[in-house]
Structure 1
Amino acid sequence: MILNDPATLAEVTAQFMRYEAALTTNDVAVLDELFWDSPLTLRYGATEILHGYDEIKAFRAGRSGQGLKRTLLRTVITTYGTDFATCNTTFQREGSDRIGRQSQSWARIPDVGWRVVAAHVSLMG
């Protein structure tokens, strides 16, 4: 298995940054697009546990678009072969001194491309 193949790493990094831009501007259509449309997709958030694409999509539709701006502090993206990657970052929201953590597992899904298949967001105390 090849770790961090340059072409694959560039693809995943571009999708991660696209996700980040959509997250901080509350572009729900792009956020929905970038999660795998499957009942197997998971997102464990700071205040929610979401199983399946439908629950994730419903959460996004009802979420406030306020207070989403943040600064990424340290991001580590690792690709495993050409079809799987992890993206982990720490962040700080504007106006807060708390540090957040975000982990995403990305997979290249046939016919749709790179999608988040599992995600976890938490805030440190």
Structure 2
Amino acid sequence: MILNDPIVLAEVTAAVDAYETALMDNDIEALDGAFWNSPHTVRLGVAENLYGFDEIAAFRIGRAGGSPPRTRLRTEITTFGSDFAIANVEFRRDGAGKIGRQSQTWIRTAEGWKVASAHVSLMQAGADQRLAPPSENR
């Protein structure tokens, strides 16, 4: 298996960047388009556990104002072969200073790269929130 093939890494990086843009723009169509349309897709958020594409899509429609604004601090992407990747993003919520983490499992489908699993969490107050040095991927 080839790790971080440059072509595959570039494809997934573009998908992660497009997702971030859609998230900050609250582009629901693009956000839904980034997720695998499957009952097996999972998104565990800060305050919600969503199982299946339909629950994820319903959550996005029902969330007033979209995601709170944030600034990405670090992005780590690892590709495994040509059809599987993981992305981890460290971010700071704008105005609040809270550090958050997002992990995504990306799979190549006939429709392109899609998120099959995602997890978002915020670090608790008082946790060691040291920032790691910038990633080689960014």
* TM > 0.5: yes
2:91 equivalent in structure 1: 91
**3-state SS in 2 of match to 1:105:** strand
What percentage of aligned pairs have identical amino acids?
58
1:78 equivalent in structure 2: 78
TM-score, length of structure 2 as denominator length: 0.87
Unaligned runs of 5+ in 1: none
Q: Could you list the runs of 4 or more consecutive aligned residues of structure 1 that deviate by over 6 angstroms after TM superposition?
A: none
Structure showing greater radius of gyration is 2
Q: 1:14 to 1:37 in 2, by over 3 A?
A: same
Unaligned runs of 5+ in 2: 125-138
TM-score, length of structure 1 as denominator length: 0.96
1:19 equivalent in structure 2: 19
Does structure 2 conserve the Cα–Cα contact (< 8 Å) formed by 1:25 and 1:68? no
1:112 equivalent in structure 2: 111
2:57 equivalent in structure 1: 57
Deviations for 1:22-49, whole angstroms, at most 9, x for unmatched residues?
Answer: 0011000000001000000000000000
Q: 1:103 to 1:66 in 2, by over 3 A?
A: closer
1:121 equivalent in structure 2: 120
- Give RMSD over aligned pairs: 0.9
Size of the aligned set, in residue pairs, is 124
